[in-house]
Chains A and B, each alone.
Chain A
Amino acid sequence: MTRAAEACFHCSEPIPAGVVIRAHVHGRDEPVCCHGCKAVAEFITGAGLTDYYKYRDAAAARADEPPRPDRWSAYDRPELVERLTRAEPGGARSITVLLEGLRCAACSWLADKALHLQSGVLDVSVNPATARARLVWDPARVRLGDLLRVLEHVGLRPHPISGEPAEQLAILERRTALKRLAVAGFGMMQVMMFAVPLYIGESSGMEPEYRELFRLVSLLVSVPVAIYAGWPFYQGALQAIRARSISMDVPVSIGIVLAFAASVWNALTGRGEVYFDSVTMFVFFLSLGRYVEMIARHRAGSVADALARLAPVTARRLRAGEVEDVQAAELAVGDELLVRTGEVFAADGVVTDGSGRVDESMLTGESTAIAKDPGARVHAGTQNLGPPLRIRVDAVADATVLSGIVALLERAQAERPRLAKAADRAAAWFLSRILVGAALVFAAWWFVDPSRAFAATLAVLVVTCPCALSLATPAAIAAATSALARRGVLVAHSDALETLAKADCVLWDKTGTLTKGLIRVEEVRPLRGLAEAECLSLAVALERLSEHPIARAFLASGAAGVTASDVEVAAGQGLEGTVDGRRLRIGSPAYAAGLAAQAGVPAGLDGESWVCLGDPGGMLAAFRVTDQLRPEAGGCVTRLGELGLQSEIVSGDERAAVEQIAARTGIARFESRLRPEAKLARLKALQAEGRVVAAIGDGINDAPLLRGADVAIAMGRGSALAQSSADLILVRDSLDELPETVELARRTQRIVRQNLAWSIVYNLAALPLAAFGLVPPWLAAIGMSLSSVAVVLNAMRLSRGSDDRRGRHWSLERRAEAA
């Protein structure tokens, strides 16, 4: 690798050989990898936002194509604006958009600044955690389409979101939980403050007047804690009882209610003990655990959103020969739609007229466009790359394939981790025994010493509360999940961490996983003495008019200059057109040679990786187009090897291509030309040897492999189907984080085991002491809380930053290696 490894100024990806594009940035020419990145970089610096490049901590998304401003014109239409946006005071409108490519806080800064440069923008709030932005603007001064255009210009593609009940519910839930937590926390601190003098007064004497005062004030402070902050536990307990089951909430509620009621009675009558300190502390720590769990759950919800945004909001309906724009929600089965070039299908349907190509990569991961003729099925969310198509709608809204995938994913997310479920079952078993035990203890003490019966029973209930047991797994998994989410690894099934920790073998898909899945022009071979740049510019002139993935490769490689006319498309073969009065063909070697009188295909150009340019005089040039190896792939494989995970490639590609990739990544074992069933068979064979297999893939052809694997990992840009089968999703579409994830999974398992061991030992030791009345309720509460806190703090070690730094360091080393 020589100069080819020079990194793009904007997206930091290596610039392919033969590509010379410079973005003019602050009087300097910076190298960029494609025209899309050039446009974005020049727009950003031109708008005075260069600071973005200084402060960002993640490279920008590669702009695969230059922005297409006309895409947003639809959002200038009043009826669409009416439906997508909300009215704000003063005639302003607001909208929530999801920003694709928002990777770090600097990106949100960029979006914010770029929008504020527009007149008429009243307010912008960008949330990098959820990749959502809320815009408020004055429709009289600026149009929505213009704002969306600006966002696309800075490389953040906006997806307007209409109604978002789920998102709003999540915000509401988060806010309410935070308030309850605050009430419990403040209450606990106050009650402690009064509890200390009361305990000291017990031993060293205290005037009854102040004793009364402290007890009544404690009562006053505890009321909101017990009622408001404790409310979710009572609700949960009621639900569990109605469902004739027993959950953690039942003994928790019984404990709170009994202790609180007894304390209130004693405080009012001025006799006996009060347990307000125990009650408030109990509620606070339980609420804290619930809050952490809820945050992790909300974070996992964003993948489904990302899928749901694929379907467009408008469609063109044909009715009585007239084309009318309608909202996608209004479509019905039987409607006929006109879908123009570049548009996304709003519903599933059957092609009735026209034949063209459709990009189904968002559903299948297949980067090659699929040919569609009348009678073929098309799906919502896919993009028409060819000529306009007419389709008859046969499924809308929830019946579409896209919605099915979204539903699948949501269901998968609702499942709780296997390990946590086991702990909950264990806890429920434990709880029912505790309730029986507490009743026995009460009965026994009633005969021995009725005055101590209540205190001992309460101590048993509180001290043995298995919250540490129940918290042991969720706390560790929540900490690991959030640590991973910060690094761009999304955990879709949390029991995956358990399996990943044990994995000893990795099966790799090649295209899109070890390689980038983006076709690039790797080599230009002039055949009749033209300069490389000249060959490229002729090719680009022709390919500019096509939307084929190979054409995109040429456009990304740059150099234009001339324009082509009279272009004709030969489906599946190539393009023919006139450039500077010269008739040219570009496409497969045989097709390109077709213009010349004596067809001569040069030797050594067989196979799919060569595209040729020809004119009536013969061949002009040949271009080798290939997929690029991910720069981090080699380092990742080596690191995984060090961790004891053996790598193996299972690919559907030709042997030569797979062999080359295997050699470059240092993978000894590889199998080529495998069909999906064969991949699965290989997987089963490994599993039969007793190995725990992780599989990494991106496309629909990997879905069976991913489903069969012990732990499945999908790439962030892969197909939705692959992602819905996956346990882990590498959101940043980079392999960098994979070894770190394995290490973190192993540490998580260690910490879960420590936590479980500790809480079991604690509960077993405390129970007899409490039953014999040796533990006063306040001590029981402290012991119980400390055991929970110990478990939570132990788990929090997983989310500390030291490893983050190490990860970054490693990825820097890796970049240096690649250069």
Chain B
Amino acid sequence: MSILYVLIPLGLVLVALGLWAFFWAVGNGQFDDLDSPGWSVLEDDGAPPAPRRGKPAMDEDESP
């Protein structure tokens, strides 16, 4: 059972990583518009590799 002393911190680290990734995504504007990216897959021509999603409209601190 002492494996718990490894597994629990590991689990916590994973949760922290997941949260960090989510915070990054929110701050990056990934959740600002949930409709139009669905249409971008319809662009079947080899469009110029310009980034489709914009940079965030404002940069905010990622830490709480």
What residues of chain A have their CB less than 8 Å away from a CB belonging to chain B? 51, 55, 96, 105-106, 108-109, 112-113, 116, 121-129, 134, 136, 168, 171-172, 174-175, 178-179, 182-183, 186, 190, 207, 210, 213, 217, 220-221, 224, 228
Shortest distance between the CB of A175 and any CB in chain B (Å): 5
Contact B31 A109 (CB under 8 A): no
Measured in the bound complex, the distance between the Cα atoms of B26 and A51 in whole Å is 31
Q: Are B35 and A182 in contact, CB atoms less than 8 angstroms apart?
A: no
Q: Which residue of B lies closest to A220 (CB)?
A: B12
Given the complex, which residues of A lie within 8 Å of B35, measured CB to CB? 105, 108, 127-129
A183, B43: Cα distance in complex, Å: 36
Most A-side CB within 10 Å, residue of B4, B39, B40, B48 = B39
Q: Chain A residues near B50: list those with CB within 8 A.
A: 116, 121-123
Selected from B4, B12, B19, the residue in CB contact (under 8 A) with A182 is: B19
- Expressed in whole angstroms, the minimum distance between the Cβ of A121 and any Cβ of chain B is 8
Given known pairs A123-B55, A171-B58, the reply for A106 and B19 (CB within 8 Å) is: no
Shortest Cβ distance from A122 into chain B, in angstroms? 7
> What is the minimal beta-carbon distance from B12 to any residue of chain A, in angstroms?
7
Q: How far is the CA of A182 from the CA of B53 in the complex (A)?
A: 22
Interface string of B28-64 (1 = CB under 8 A from A): 0101110110111011000110111111011010001
Could you say which residues of chain A place their CB within 8 Å of the CB of B64?
179, 183, 224, 228
Given contacts A168-B57, A175-B31, A186-B15, contact A127 B8 (CB under 8 A): no
**Which of A128, A129, A172, A179 gathers most chain B CB within 10 Å?**
A179
- For the complex, what is the distance from the CA of A103 to the CA of B35, rounded to whole Å? 12
Q: Report B33 CB to chain A, min CB distance, Å.
A: 4
A171-B58, A172-B60, A210-B1 in contact; A217/B19 too (CB < 8 A)? no
Would you give the shortest CB distance from B22 to chain A, in whole angstroms?
5
Counting from the closest, the 10 A-B pairs by CB-CB distance are A125-B54, A127-B33, A109-B39, A105-B39, A228-B64, A108-B36, A182-B22, A175-B26, A128-B35, A178-B26
> Would you list which residues of chain B between 13 and 33 have a CB under 8 Å from chain A?
15, 18-19, 22-23, 26-27, 29, 31-33
Chain B's closest residue to A110 (CB) is B39
Chain A min CB distance to B52 (Å): 7
Residues of A within 8 A of B39 (CB): 55, 105-106, 108-109
CA distance A190 to B19 in the complex (A): 12
Q: State whether A55 and B33 are in contact (beta carbons under 8 Å apart), knowing that A123-B50, A221-B12 are contacts in the complex.
A: no
Cβ-neighbour of A123 out of B26, B43, B51, B60 (below 8 A):
B51
Q: A125-B33, A217-B8 are in contact. List 14 more A-B contacts (CB 8 A).
A: A105-B36, A108-B35, A109-B39, A112-B40, A112-B52, A113-B47, A126-B36, A127-B35, A128-B33, A171-B57, A174-B32, A179-B23, A182-B19, A182-B26
Tell me the smallest distance from the CB of A289 to a CB of chain B, in Å.
19
Asked if A55 meets B23 with Cβ closer than 8 Å, knowing A125-B53, A178-B31, A228-B64, the reply is no
By a CB distance below 8 angstroms, the chain A residues around B26 are: 175, 178-179, 182
User: Nearest residue in A to B64 (C-beta to C-beta)?
Assistant: A228
Contacts of B19 in A (CB 8 A): 182-183, 186
Shortest beta-carbon distance from B26 to chain A in Å: 5
CB distance from B8 to the nearest CB of A (A): 6
Nearest B residue (CB) for A133: B54
Which B residues touch A124, using CB under 8 A? 54
- Residue on B with the closest CB to A207? B1
Check A213–B40 contact: CB distance below 8 A.
no
Instruction: Report the bound CA distance from A581 to B58 in whole Å.
Output: 63
CA distance A121 to B5 in the complex (A): 54
Judge whether A175 and B42 touch: CB under 8 Å: no
Chain B residues near A136 (CB, 8 Å)?
54
CB distance from B44 to the nearest CB of A (A): 8
CA distance A691 to B15 in the complex (A): 58
CA distance A207 to B8 in the complex (A): 17
CB contacts (< 8 Å) of A220 on chain B: these are: 12
CB distance from A183 to the nearest CB of B (A): 7
Contact B15 A190 (CB under 8 A): yes
Q: From DSSP, what is the main secondary structure of chain B's interface residues?
A: loop
Sample 28 A-B pairs with CB under 8 A, ordered by A number.
A55-B39, A55-B42, A105-B35, A108-B39, A109-B42, A112-B36, A113-B43, A122-B50, A123-B51, A125-B53, A125-B54, A128-B33, A128-B35, A129-B33, A168-B58, A171-B32, A175-B32, A178-B31, A179-B23, A182-B26, A183-B19, A190-B11, A190-B12, A190-B15, A213-B4, A213-B5, A217-B8, A221-B15
Kindly provide the distance from the CB of B58 to the nearest chain A CB, expressed in whole angstroms. Answer: 6
B30 CB, nearest partner CB in chain A, Å: 10
Tell me the complex Cα distance, A55–B40, Å: 11
Give the chain A neighbours of B11 by CB distance below 8 A.
190
Select one of B27, B38, B47, B51 contacting A175, CB under 8 A: B27
- A127 touching B42 in the complex, CB below 8 Å, given contacts A179-B64, A210-B4: no
Whether B47 pairs with A116 at a CB distance below 8 angstroms is yes
Complex-state Cα separation, A183 to B62, whole angstroms: 13
Specify which of A105, A113, A128, A129 lies most central, judged by the most chain B CB atoms within 10 Å of its CB. A105
Chain B: CB-nearest residue to A189: B15
Residues of A within 8 A of B27 (CB): 175
- Chain B residues lying within 8 Å of A186, measured Cβ to Cβ, are 15, 18-19
CB distance from A429 to the nearest CB of B (A): 35
A134, B36: Cβ atoms under 8 Å? no
Residue of B nearest to A134 (CB): B54
Are the CB atoms of A134 and B57 closer together than 8 Å? yes
Contact A109:B36 (CB < 8 A) given known A134-B57, A210-B4: yes
Q: Which residue of B lies closest to A88 (CB)?
A: B55
B-side contacts of A125, CB under 8 Å: 29, 33, 52-54
Considering the complex, give the chain A residue whose CB is closest to the CB of B51: A123
Expressed in whole angstroms, the Cα–Cα distance for A175 and B15 within the complex equals 20
Contact A116 B48 (CB under 8 A): yes
Bound Cα distance A471, B42 (Å): 40
Cα A186 to Cα B50 with chains together (Å)? 34
CA distance A96 to B56 in the complex (A): 13
Using Cβ atoms and an 8 Å threshold, which residues of chain B touch A171? 32, 57-58
- Chain A residue with Cβ nearest B28: A175
Instruction: Name which of B11, B15, B36, B38 has the most chain A CB atoms within 10 A of its CB.
Output: B36
Q: With A and B bound together, what is the CA distance between A729 and B43 in angstroms?
A: 34
- In the complex, A224→B52 CA distance in Å? 34
How far apart are the CA atoms of A128 and B34 in the complex, in Å? 9
Q: How far is B2's CA from A207's CA once the two chains are assembled, in angstroms?
A: 12
Q: Nearest Cβ in chain A — how far from B28, in angstroms?
A: 10
With a 10 A CB-CB cut-off, give which of B4, B29, B64 has the most chain A CB atoms: B64
Chain B residues with CB below 8 A from A128, complex form: 33, 35-36
**In this complex, what residue of B is CB-closest to A167?**
B57
CB-based nearest B residue for A168: B58
Q: In the bound complex, what is the Cα–Cα distance between A168 and B58 (angstroms)?
A: 8
Q: How far is the CB of A298 from chain B (nearest CB, A)?
A: 11
Closest to A178 in B: B26
The docked-state distance in angstroms from the alpha carbon of A134 to that of B32 is 13
Residues of the B chain whose Cβ atoms lie less than 8 Å from the Cβ of A207: 1
The answer to whether A109 touches B40 (Cβ under 8 A) is yes
**What residues on B are CB-neighbors of A134 within 8 Å?**
54, 57
Are the CB atoms of B52 and A51 closer together than 8 Å?
no
Closest to B54 in A: A125
B60 CB to closest chain A CB (Å) equals 7
Q: How far is the CA of A128 from the CA of B58 in the complex (A)?
A: 19
- Is the Cβ of A51 less than 8 Å from the Cβ of B42? yes
Measured between alpha carbons, how far is A106 from B50 in the docked complex, in Å? 19
Q: How far is the CB of B56 from chain A (nearest CB, A)?
A: 9
State in angstroms the CA–CA spacing of A182 and B15 once bound together: 11
In angstroms, Cα B50 to Cα A116, docked, is 9
CA A51 – CA B42 in complex, angstroms?
Answer: 9
Task: Report the bound CA distance from A109 to B38 in whole Å.
Answer: 10
CB distance from B63 to the nearest CB of A (A): 10
- Docked CA distance A168–B29 (Å): 12
